[in-house]
Amino acid sequence: MEKVTMADVAREAGVSKSTVSQFLNKRYEYMGEKTKLKIEAAIERLGYQPNFIARSLKQKRTSMVGIIVANIMHYLSTEISRAIEDFCQDHDLHAIVCNADDDPEKEKRYIEMLRAKQVDGLIIFPTELNTELYAGMIKEGYPVVFVDRKVEMLDAFSVVTDNRESTYKAIQSFIANGHRHIAFAVQPLIVSTRKERLEGYKNAMVEAGLPIRPEFIIESSIGEMKRKLEELFSLEDPPTALFAGNDRVFLTVVEFLKGKGLKIGQDVDLIVFDNIPFANLMDKPISFIMQPATEMGMKAAELLFDQINKVEKEPQKFIFPSEMV
């Protein structure tokens, strides 16, 4: 069976090839509703499949964008990516999602691969360790947006949350409830989000006149986290409150406390900075700092869409407020 062409569709619908082309490019203002319906019916009858490669060469666009997630294991990353994909779906774009596993080399390979595939732009949850590569894309005017994490010293479009301020308020709430021995647990301080949260912790402690004790600050990989927690809770004066820096730290902390027979809300109070699925169904007295993932994803996608469509804007940094629940 011969491949159905645009000319076949035009003949079947009784219109010109240029009108079919306008239809395929969604330029419906160039035709009446009756013509549009005739072309739709002809495509359906003939089973026509447009040649997207030829179209992209002609338009110099592929209608594809890349999303490079630092670590898909974080629920927030999944939520934001879903919102980006929803925006793309509504704006006739196709999203390709890649997971960098917090590995800058893997992130670099994905950036190179997606650009080789001629995607129209990138939304990156950056590892923050490919600064020269990021800077090169920005310098050449390639559409790129950073989300969740900032890249220091780069004038770029970014969408983040108020890490420092939200953590500061969380520690203040511990202090208001009478806690003085407050611990902080986070993965290695190699990205802006973790650094800002630690700054928020320290600011609240200093303002309250409480000492910042190095033994109360855990900076560790997930694999080493339980050993560090064991050391922390073996102190003569262990913490009565603990701030977990993200969802993966939280799950490790909960598992550790359960194994030690320590009860959340009785032996230790807990606040988590991250979006946790079904947090409202938990019967434990845990507070969560929830980030507006959908709004962040939509804003990141909108910023990329505007760059792709040559909407002139100066690079902007959007900081979304979080909410403790």
DSSP string, 16-45: -HHHHHHHHTT-GGGS-HHHHHHHHHHHHH
Yes or no: say if 231 and 258 are a contact pair by the CB < 8 Å rule.
no
Rg of the chain in Å (alpha carbons): 25
Which pLDDT does position 55 carry in this prediction? Answer: 54
pLDDT tens digits for range 163-178:
999 999 999 999 999 9
Q: Measured between alpha carbons, how far is 10 from 21 in angstroms, rounded to an integer?
A: 9
Q: What is the pTM of this model?
A: 0.80
Q: Measured between alpha carbons, how far is 142 from 139 in angstroms, rounded to an integer?
A: 8
Which pLDDT does position 58 carry in this prediction? Answer: 54
**Residues of the chain falling short of pLDDT 50:** 57
- Structure token digits, residue 21: 């082309």
CA angle 302, 305, 311 (to 5 degrees): 100
Residue 304, SS3 per DSSP:
helix
pLDDT tens digits for range 206-233:
999 999 999 999 999 999 999 999 999 9
Half-sphere exposure of 171 (CA within 13 A, CB side): 30
Which pLDDT does position 57 carry in this prediction? Answer: 47
- Of residues 193, 244, 198, 200, the one with CA closest to residue 222: 244
All structural domains of the chain: 6-50 (1.10.260.40), 63-156+293-324 (3.40.50.2300), 163-290 (3.40.50.2300)
Q: Measured between alpha carbons, how far is 46 from 286 in angstroms, rounded to an integer?
A: 59
